[in-house]
């Protein structure tokens, strides 16, 4: 299963971190730092796989991909295929991001992730559920995400007035 | 509010405490607005864990939301279920989730399945009655749901293969349909039909087909199909290919599939992408278990990966080497490993590689000398990371030798060990474990061969004790070693004069805070005061291997007891009789508990029926003892770990046996462990009239016998092989090819083939020049190709004469040389590869090699030689050449092979 998904910039600041098993905040930070220290020591043009046993314990590998100023990192155990996960990072994820954020991925920068934080989480939830990859077709993910945002917008528009009205009345 | 919560999530991700906002997130999930609710759920899943106090407030909402009409609400709730529901709350939501399995929306069905999967991971018993649901969902109309169902099924099958054998047919048919593109176009991905589902299915098939011929046979066609259809240009295609290889290497072997797997691996290894190389190495490691011979064609690629700057790749390659280590190549591999171990700082990996070195060295050591040197290196560089057992093993090995009858060899071994240790002691900082070994060996054998005087050795030992004054174990070892040396001196009738620094050391220890050190110092003092005869019986020379008899019934105290009873003392009543109604084990247990904890007992009270069970373990344990322990080097350890559970479940009698076992072994091998005295005393106390003791003892000694004999068997063929191959360090590329030939090669040829090695750069050229005549004699089918190649060789030679270097020749501006040289190399490798293969063929076919074979032997040597030459240098041209050589043989081999075989 997938243990964690992280996005961090080249300075080691995490931009997205999702752990599929509960870890305390301190532990999470420790792991993020550990991962970053490994990542930044890696040269260019080497493989995207790292043996992460020293950071995450027994039976864990790490696959990362470097885009512009961001590292995308997946941590998982032996029940996943490294190349497949790498593909997930370098093809599925970008294409979904690109379509969602309505931009060319070359220009997707850290700030886009920061500002669309909940959206990114939604995408990730559609893709990886409870530590398992459930959806890999980017069009399916897109469909789901669009539907969600449409419904959310609709429900928001309806609930906006009574909500604020009730809030006002109770005051 | 929504924005704030998201900010809060972000803040917590950056590592700050945001716990004050948790309650707001919980409140948000009660909201009616979908957007707010979903945000709330998102925050809650990120903030809380399943044991958090606020969970109670959430469960009710989740229950309500699972019944919602809006499927997005249901999805959000399911998301939270995965993360936040713990074992106790599973029953609260389970019925709703089972209902959701039939939800019209496929997204909901998918998530419901994953939620059930999560429950299964958390507590398998809670959903055990729902397993059939997974099978049903496998037939879901939506491929996404079907794909998701594979995840829980994979887990279920991993845990219990046999009850899912009936699904093989359905999995195969699903895989077939997927591979034949029966799925909707939406699942195509880089022109591959649903690759992720294929991967999952292949993983499952690998599990189901392992060591099951019947099941495997069903899979052969479909796996073969996928091999053919996979497009190896895209990443995902390679992922599926890799999964196919894994599957092939795990199911019952099929020659045809193995062949295509080997092809795929060679494609991986030849690719420029490090990722693919990594996968290739990994796949090779898997396949090598079934067909070890495929590694031969990839030697060069593997060596390349070993030299690669990429750490991950290097580690994977070491893993592969570890798997393919044999007695013939262990020296090279372990040397490589130690070199690498020195170069890294990562303690975790250092420990791992050190333990692997030790394991390989123990398993395949060609000679004692080598073993000791290797262990020295490992200890020196990673001493503190090595298990203490390894040190004990080393000491035992030095003490026992290799179980040979030849005493001189043993004493030679010891003196060489002593010498190397005295040398190593000069190093400034040594790990504690290593120092213990050094002290022990110096104490036991330092003066045995008379090369070093007692005062020299004792001086060294005192230095050690002083230099590492904060390590008490080392000091204890040093004192004991001192005692032994003095004892040997006294026993030999020589006058003992203590060095002044030794005196001061003793004084310090006599006043030491550590009782252990103090006792040792007093013992030393006492021993020095005794006469030669007494000393000899206390510490006989070279007796560390002899078993020490322990009088467990304390019979030597009988007189004293008799006397006491006569004087009117109460006779001893066994504990079992004293307590009356309680049986021994119960009493022991209680006693133990009282001793350890006077206050509260935190562990659960044992169930009453366990006392009955306690009777059973001893018998079964005795039988396990008789069975040879799989791990030859740690019989005691493995034994102990297996019995630990029964010890805790108040089986006092087994505990007793266990301890005795440990004591016996320790005493049998070593006399000087700090812990022996204490464990000994406990065993003596607990013995009291229990007859099982003898049984355990005999069983124990029996296992030791079998263990010893096995070790002898293990070592002797290796030694013979090494003796047969006088030839020193085999070159690294030779590793594989040499395995078959070494023993049969006549020495004259070895010298001949050895000669080019000394001439450095020209080596490859020379060998290639003398190559063709050999091959012509050989009269093999590729004569035609060699005949024309003679001229270019001469040409090349002519070009080379002024420079005598390949690289410079290639660099030479004349284009002819540049274009020709690869050709030549290609032809050359072609022919040699042919020779090489024929040779190995003959070798495997006939036990008595004919004359031609010797020629073949040299040619293979030269292959190794010439390929080694360029490899050592860094020049790019050479690298390219080597690569080409690595490439051509593997592609040519099959054809040539067929030619030869007819």
Question: Which pLDDT belongs to residue B607?
Answer: 58
Among B339, B338, B276, smallest CA distance to B305 is for B276
Q: pLDDT by residue (tens digit) across B186-240?
A: 777 777 788 888 888 898 888 888 878 888 888 888 888 888 887 777 888 888 8
Specify the DSSP class assigned to residue B167.
G
Q: Which of B6, B72, B114 sits opposite A134 (nearest CB)?
A: B114
Q: pLDDT by residue (tens digit) across B836-850?
A: 444 444 444 444 444
Distance from CA of A69 to the nearest CA of B (A): 17
| Whole-prediction pTM | 0.61
B885 pLDDT more than 80: no
**8 Å CB contact between A25 and A101:** no
Which of chain A's residues have a Cβ under 8 Å away from the Cβ of B277?
47
What is the C-alpha to C-alpha distance for residues B424 and B432, in angstroms, rounded to an integer?
Answer: 13
> Interhelix angle for B610-626 vs B635-648, to 10°?
170
Distance from CA of B109 to the nearest CA of A (A): 11
Which of the residues B31, B33, B158 would you substitute to probe the A interface, choosing the one with the greatest number of A C-beta atoms within 10 Å? B33
- A133 reaches B (C-beta below 8 A): yes
ipTM surpasses cut 0.90: no
- Paired residues of B210 in beta bridges: B251
What is the C-alpha to C-alpha distance for residues B836 and B297, in angstroms, rounded to an integer?
Answer: 11
Question: Which pLDDT belongs to residue A114?
Answer: 80
Averaged confidence pLDDT in chain B: 67
Name the stretches of chain A with pLDDT < 50. Answer: 160-171
Distance from CA of B386 to the nearest CA of A (A): 17
**8 Å CB contact between B189 and B195:** yes
Domains of chain A: 2-159 (3.30.450.60)
Q: Please enumerate in sequence order all residues whose Cβ is within 8 A of that of B372, keeping only pairs 6 or more positions apart, or say none.
A: B394, B397, B398, B413, B416, B417, B420
Q: Which of A129, A137, A163 sits opposite B187 (nearest CB)?
A: A137
Task: Answer with the residue of higher pLDDT: B527 or B639.
Answer: B527
Q: Which of A83, A125, A133 sits opposite B279 (nearest CB)?
A: A83
Q: Which residue of B has its CA nearest to A8?
A: B14
Question: Which pLDDT belongs to residue B846?
Answer: 41
Please list the helix, strand and coil fractions of chain A in percent, rounded to the nearest 5, in that order: 55, 20, 25
Contact (CB<8Å) B315/A51:
yes
Contact (CB<8Å) B189/A135:
no
B332 pLDDT more than 50: yes
Among A70, A68, A72, smallest CA distance to A11 is for A70
Q: pLDDT by residue (tens digit) across B654-664?
A: 434 444 443 43
Q: Are strands B188-189 and B192-193 parallel, antiparallel or unpaired?
A: antiparallel
Q: pLDDT by residue (tens digit) across B354-391?
A: 888 888 887 777 777 787 788 888 887 776 777 777 77
What is the C-alpha to C-alpha distance for residues B896 and B80, in angstroms, rounded to an integer?
Answer: 63
Q: pLDDT by residue (tens digit) across B762-777?
A: 444 444 444 444 443 4
User: Among 1.25.10, 1.20.1740, 3.30.200, 2.60.120, what is the CATH number of B387-546?
Assistant: 1.25.10
Q: Which of A25, A47, A136 sits opposite B12 (nearest CB)?
A: A25
Which of chain B's residues have a Cβ under 8 Å away from the Cβ of A134?
110-111, 114, 144, 147-148, 151
Q: Which of B114, B190, B309 sits opposite A129 (nearest CB)?
A: B114
Specify the DSSP class assigned to residue B873.
S
């Amino acid at each position: 299963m997938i243990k964690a998904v992280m996005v961090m910039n080249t300075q080691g600041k995490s931009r997205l971190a999702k752990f599929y098993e509960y870890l305390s905040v301190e532990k999470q930070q420790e792991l993020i730092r550990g991962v970053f220290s490994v990542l930044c020591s890696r040269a260019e043009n080497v493989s995207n796989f790292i043996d992460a046993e020293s950071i995450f314990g027994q039976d864990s590998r790490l696959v990362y991909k470097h885009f512009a100023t961001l590292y995308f990192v997946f941590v998982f155990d032996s029940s996943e295929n490294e190349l497949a996960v790498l593909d997930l990072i370098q093809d599925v994820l970008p294409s979904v991001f690109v379509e969602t954020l309505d931009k060319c991925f070359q220009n997707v920068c850290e700030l886009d992730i920061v500002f669309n934080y909940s959206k990114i989480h939604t995408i990730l939830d559609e893709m990886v559920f409870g530590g398992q990859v459930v959806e890999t077709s980017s069009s399916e993910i897109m469909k789901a995400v669009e539907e969600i945002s449409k419904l959310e917008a609709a429900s928001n528009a309806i609930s906006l007035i009574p909500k604020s009205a009730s809030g006002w009345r109770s005051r | 509010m929504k924005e704030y919560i998201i900010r809060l999530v972000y803040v917590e991700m950056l590592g700050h405490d945001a716990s004050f906002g948790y309650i707001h997130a919980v409140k948000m999930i009660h909201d009616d607005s979908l957007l707010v609710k979903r945000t709330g759920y998102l925050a809650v899943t990120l903030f809380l864990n399943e044991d958090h106090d606020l969970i109670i407030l959430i469960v009710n909402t989740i229950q309500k939301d699972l019944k919602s009409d809006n499927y997005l609400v249901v999805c959000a709730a399911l998301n939270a279920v995965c993360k936040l529901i713990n074992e106790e709350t599973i029953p609260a939501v389970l019925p709703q989730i089972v209902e959701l399995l039939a939800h019209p929306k496929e997204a909901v069905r998918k998530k419901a399945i994953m939620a059930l999967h999560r429950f299964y991971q958390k507590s398998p018993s809670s959903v055990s009655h729902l397993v059939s649901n997974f099978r049903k969902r496998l037939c879901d109309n939506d491929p996404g749901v079907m794909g998701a169902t594979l995840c829980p099924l994979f887990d279920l099958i991993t845990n219990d293969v046999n009850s899912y054998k009936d699904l093989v047919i359905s999995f195969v048919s699903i895989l077939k349909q997927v591979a034949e593109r029966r799925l909707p176009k939406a699942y195509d991905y880089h022109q591959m039909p649903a690759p992720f589902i294929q991967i999952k299915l292949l993983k499952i098939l690998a599990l189901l087909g392992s060591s099951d011929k019947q099941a495997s046979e069903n899979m052969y066609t479909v796996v073969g199909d996928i091999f053919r259809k996979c497009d190896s240009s895209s990443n995902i295609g390679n992922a599926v290919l890799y999964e196919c290889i894994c599957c092939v290497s795990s199911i019952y072997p099929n020659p045809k599939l193995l062949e295509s797997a080997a092809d795929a691996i060679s494609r991986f290894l030849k690719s420029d992408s490090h990722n693919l190389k990594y996968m290739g190495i990994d796949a090779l490691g898997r396949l090598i278990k079934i067909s070890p011979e495929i590694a031969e064609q990839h030697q060069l690629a593997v060596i390349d990966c070993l030299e690669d700057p990429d750490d991950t790749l290097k580690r994977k390659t070491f893993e592969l080497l570890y798997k393919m280590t044999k007695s013939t190549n262990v020296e090279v591999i372990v040397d490589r490993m130690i070199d690498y171990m020195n170069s890294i700082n990562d303690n975790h990996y250092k420990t791992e590689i050190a333990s692997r070195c030790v394991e390989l060295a123990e398993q395949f050591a060609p000679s004692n000398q080598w073993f000791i040197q290797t262990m020295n290196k490992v200890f020196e560089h990673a001493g503190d990371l090595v298990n203490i057992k390894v040190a004990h093993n080393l000491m035992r090995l030095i003490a026992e030798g290799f179980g040979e009858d030849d005493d001189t060899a043993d004493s030679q071994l010891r003196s060489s060990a002593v010498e190397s240790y005295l040398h190593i002691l000069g190093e400034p900082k040594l790990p504690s474990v290593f120092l213990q070994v050094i002290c022990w060996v110096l104490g036991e054998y330092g003066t045995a061969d008379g090369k070093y005087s007692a005062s020299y050795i004792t001086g060294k030992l005192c230095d050690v004790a002083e230099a590492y004054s904060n390590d008490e174990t080392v000091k204890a070892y040093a004192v004991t070693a001192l005692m032994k040396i003095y004892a040997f001196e006294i026993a030999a009738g020589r006058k003992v004069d203590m060095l002044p620094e030794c005196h001061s050391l003793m004084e310090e220890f006599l006043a030491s805070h550590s009782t252990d050190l103090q006792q040792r110092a007093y013992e030393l003092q006492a021993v020095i005061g005794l006469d030669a005869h007494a000393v000899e019986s206390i510490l006989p020379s070279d007796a560390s291997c002899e078993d020490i008899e322990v009088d467990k019934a304390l019979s030597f105290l009988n007189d004293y007891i008799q006397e006491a009873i006569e004087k009117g003392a109460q006779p001893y009543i066994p504990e079992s009789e004293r307590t009356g109604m309680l049986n021994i084990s119960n009493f022991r247990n209680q006693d133990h508990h009282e001793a350890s904890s006077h206050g509260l007992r935190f562990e659960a009270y044992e169930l009453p029926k366990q006392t009955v069970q306690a009777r059973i373990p001893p018998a079964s344990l005795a039988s396990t003892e008789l069975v040879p322990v799989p791990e030859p080097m740690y019989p005691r350890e493995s034994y102990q770990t297996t019995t630990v559970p029964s010890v805790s479940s108040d089986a006092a009698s087994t505990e007793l046996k266990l301890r005795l076992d440990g004591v016996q072994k320790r005493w049998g091998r070593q006399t000087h462990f700090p812990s022996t005295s204490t464990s000994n005393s406990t065993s003596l106390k607990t013995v009291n009239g229990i007859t099982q003791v003898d049984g355990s003892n005999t069983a124990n000694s029996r296992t030791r016998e079998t263990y010893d004999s096995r070790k002898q068997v293990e070592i002797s063929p290796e030694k013979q092989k090494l003796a047969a191959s006088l030839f020193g360090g085999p070159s690294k590329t030779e590793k594989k090819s040499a395995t078959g030939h070494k023993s049969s090669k006549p020495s004259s040829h070895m010298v001949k083939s050895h000669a080019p090695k000394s001439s450095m750069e020209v080596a490859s050229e020379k060998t290639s020049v003398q190559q063709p005549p050999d091959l012509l004699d050989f009269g093999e089918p590729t004569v035609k190709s060699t005949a024309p190649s003679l001229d270019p060789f001469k040409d090349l030679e002519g070009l080379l004469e002024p420079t005598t270097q390949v690289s410079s020749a290639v660099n030479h501006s004349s284009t002819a040389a540049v274009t020709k040289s690869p050709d030549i190399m290609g032809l050359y490798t072609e022919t040699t590869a042919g020779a090489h293969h024929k040779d190995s063929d003959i070798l495997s076919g006939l036990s008595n090699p004919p004359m031609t074979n010797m020629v073949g032997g040299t040619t293979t040597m030269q292959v190794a030689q010439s390929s080694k030459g360029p490899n050592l240098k860094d020049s790019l041209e050479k690298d390219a050449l080597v690569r080409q050589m690595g490439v051509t043989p593997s592609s040519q081999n099959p054809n040539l092979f067929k030619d030869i075989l007819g």
